[in-house]
Amino acid sequence: MKYLQKKYKAIIFIISAVFLTVSLINANNDAATFDEIAHIPAGYSYLTENEIRLNPEHPPLIKNLSAIPLLFMDLNFDTSQPFWTGDLPRKWDEGQWAAGRHLLWEAGNDPDKIIFWSRVPIVLLSLLLGLFIFKWTKEIAGVLAGLLAFTLYSFDPNVLGHNHYVTTDIGVMVFLTFSFYYFIRFIKNPTWKNSVIGGIFLGLLHLAKFSSILTLPVLGLVLVAYPLFKKLKPNKSRLKEWFIYMGRGITAFIISLVMIWSLYAVNTFNTPQDVMAQAIDFNFPAHDENIKNVYTRDILHSLNETSLTRPLAEYGIGMGYVFRRVAGGNGAYFMGEVSDSAFASYFPTVFVLKETIPLLILILLTSIYTIYRIISSIKFGYKEFFEENFKSFLNWMRTGVTQYVLFGFILLYSYLSITGNLNIGLRHLFPIFPFIYILVAKKVHDFFRETHKRKLMLPKYLLTGLIIWILFEPIASYPYYMSYFNQFAGGPKNGYQYVTDSNADWGQDLKRLKWFLEDHPEIDKIRVDYFGGGNPSYYLGEKYIPWWDSNRPIEKGWYAVSTNFLQGSIYETRLKEDGTPRKPDDESWRWVLNHEPEYQIGTSIFIYRVE
C-alpha cells in the first residue's frame, strides 16, 4: 500500500497513457454513430456561421469544442443547400441530418478525418475528468482511494465506449463533476471567490446539456439548508450567515446566466430574427392553447425582438425541443418488446447488464457497509434516541456535505430517469457515474480505516481480486466498449438480445463491415440495412445494395442487418388504430429467424446468406 502511495504519479501516468491510446484508436476505428451526424455539422456551423439553425435541442458548448479542430481544415460547407435555407418538409428536424450527410459524404471532404478530429476534444475532456475524479477523491479520502476511483473510471468499458463520440454524454459528466466540486467548496467556504468560480462552472454545466437543470433542486436545497445547521464561531449571527449564503449563491446563479448568454451570443449573432421566430413557432405552435406553451411562446417572441436578448430566446427554444422530445418518448427495443412508452425497469436492468460485475459487487458491499454503520450508530435508549442521535445527525450534516450532496443527486437523477419517458441508453445515466466512483472509493477507504487490521486479510484479497477483474474487463472486451455487456448478459456479442440503440448498436461497426468484405472477396454484392451515421455506399462501394425489412421479394445472396433494425422489426407487435399489425410478417425481418447468421461483424451487424 505504501508503495502505491509513493508511486501514485507514475501509476496515474501509465493509466492515463493507456486510456488515451485506446480511446484514440477507437476514435479512428469506429464509424460515425447515429447522433454524431447531427452534432458534428452543428458545431462547425456555430463557429463558422454564428447561427444555431442545426441541432438546437442541445446547448452549443460540447459541439463548439469538438468543432475547433475543424477550423484548421479547408472544408466545403455549402449554406445555399436546403438543409440551411429551410427548404425541407420538416426543416427543423431534417436539416441537421441533411447537413451531416452534406459535410461528411457529399461535399468532397474527407469524412474519416473530420470524424476523427471532431472526436479528439471529447477524448481529452474524458481524460481530464478522470484526473479530476482522482483529485477530488484524494482530497476527501486520500491517495489510495483516489487511485481506486480513477481506476474504476478509466477501466469502465461504458466510459471507454462513449468517450470518443461527438455527443453531450461525456461533456455533461465532465462539467457536472466540476460544478458540484466547486459548489461544495463554496458551501464549505462561502467566499466571493468561490461564489464566482462556482457560478462559472454552473454556467458551463448548463451549456453542456439541458438536462443539467435537474441539478438545481439539489444545489438549491443544500444552499438554503446548510447555513441553518452549520457550526458557527461564537457571537456570529446565524441569520446573517444565512443571508451571506443566499446573496453569494444568487450571485453565482446570475453569473451562470451570464455565461449562458455569452456563449449563445457568440454562437447566434448572425441568426436572423425571422429564422428564430420560425423556430419558436415550430416548438410552440399558435394552435397549441396550453396556457404554459402560450406564455412560453409569448416570452420567447419578446426575447427575440432585440439582439441583446435573442441569445436567451435561442436557449429557450432548445429547452422546448427537450421537453417535446421527452414527452413524445422514443421507440425502443427492450427485453423482447418494442414501445414508445418508458419501461420502469429499463435503467435498473440496463445498469445491471452493462456495468462491470466487480463494480456492481463494490457498490453492493459498500452500500451494505454504509447501512450497517448507520444502524450500528443509532442509540435506541429513550433519551439517547432523541438527544444523541440528533447530535450525531447534526454533526454528519455539518461534516458529510460531499457525501450527501453526491448521494442525493444520484437518488434524484435515478428516480427521474426511471420514471421518465426516454429509454435510449445507459449513457443517460452517465451524469451520476463519477459520483458512484467517488463514493465507492470513499466507503472502501472508510472500511479499511475503521476495521481492525486483524480482520482485513480477507477484504484485502477480495479488493485485490475485484481490481484485477476491473482491469481485465476492457482487455477481454476490446474493442467493443460501446456495446459492452457483462457476463450476466453473455458479453458484448449477446447484449443486443436484451436492449439495442446506443447500448449495443449505434452504427459503430460499419468500417468493420468494410474490412470484413475486403477479407471475403467471394461476396460480390451485399444487401445492407444499416443503422447509424456512416455511409454504406462510401465504405462498401459497388458491393452495396440498399435494403430494408419490408423490401420484397427476398432475393438469393448476402444480407447485412444492423441489430437495432433487426430487433425493432422482429419484435414490433403493436397494432395500428385500425387493428392491423404495424409490422406484418411480410414487411419484417422475421424471416431471418429461419436462418443462422453466417457472421457477426463487431457486435452490431449480422451477415446472412440466402441460398
Residue 116 placed within a domain: no
Structural domain count, the chain? 3
Q: What distance in Å separates the CA atoms of residue 57 and residue 371, rounded to the nearest whole number?
A: 41
Residue 285 and residue 412 share a domain? no
More confident residue, 87 or 201: 201
Region label for 210, one of left (φ > 0), alpha (ψ between -120 and 50) or beta (otherwise): alpha
SS3 (DSSP) at 547: coil
Q: What distance in Å separates the CA atoms of residue 527 and residue 514, rounded to the nearest whole number?
A: 13
Q: pLDDT tens digit string along 280-323?
A: 887 788 787 778 778 888 899 999 999 899 999 999 988 887 77
The last residue of a domain, from among 486, 521, 537:
486
Residue 482 and residue 363 share a domain? yes
First to last CA, the chain: 62
Residue 463 and residue 512 share a domain? no
Q: What is the pLDDT of residue 399?
A: 83
Domain containing 461: what range? 351-486
Report CA torsion sign: 68, 70, 73, 78: negative
Q: pLDDT tens digit string along 170-199?
A: 999 999 999 999 999 999 999 999 999 999
The last residue of a domain, from among 486, 513, 529:
486
Q: What is the pLDDT of residue 517?
A: 98
Residue 7 placed within a domain: no
Asked if residue 328 has pLDDT above 60, the reply is: no
pLDDT class of 459 with cuts at 50, 70, 90: very high
- Burial bucket for residue 193 (CB in 10 Å: 0-12, 13-18, 19+): exposed
Residue 38 placed within a domain: no
Range 95-111 average pLDDT: 95
Residue 453 and residue 370 share a domain? yes
Residue 247 placed within a domain: no
Evaluate whether 560 touches 513 at the Cβ level (below 8 Å).
yes
Q: What distance in Å separates the CA atoms of residue 241 and residue 289, rounded to the nearest whole number?
A: 45
Residue 216 placed within a domain: no
Evaluate whether 85 touches 94 at the Cβ level (below 8 Å).
no
Residue 366 and residue 321 share a domain? no
Q: What is the DSSP string of 204-268?
A: HHHTT-GGGGGHHHHHHHHHHHHHHH----TT--HHHHHHHHHHHHHHHHHHHHHHHHHHHHHHH
Asked if residue 90 has pLDDT above 70, the reply is: no
For residue 23, how many C-alpha atoms fall within 13 Å in the half-sphere facing its CB? Answer: 29
Residue 532 and residue 419 share a domain? no
**E strands within 356-442?**
none
Look up residue 547 and give its three cell numbers: 435494403
SS3 (DSSP) at 451: coil
Q: What distance in Å separates the CA atoms of residue 591 and residue 60, rounded to the nearest whole number?
A: 44
Evaluate whether 62 touches 168 at the Cβ level (below 8 Å).
yes
Q: pLDDT tens digit string along 249-280?
A: 999 999 999 999 999 999 998 888 888 888 88
Q: What is the pLDDT of residue 396?
A: 80
| Count of Cβ atoms closer than 10 Å to residue 302 Cβ | 11
Residue 157 placed within a domain: no
Range 399-403 average pLDDT: 90
Q: What is the pLDDT of residue 91?
A: 54
Residue 240 placed within a domain: no
Q: Which segment, 158-167, 233-242, 332-341, is predicted with the most confidence on average?
A: 158-167
The last residue of a domain, from among 455, 486, 517:
486
Residue 403 and residue 379 share a domain? yes
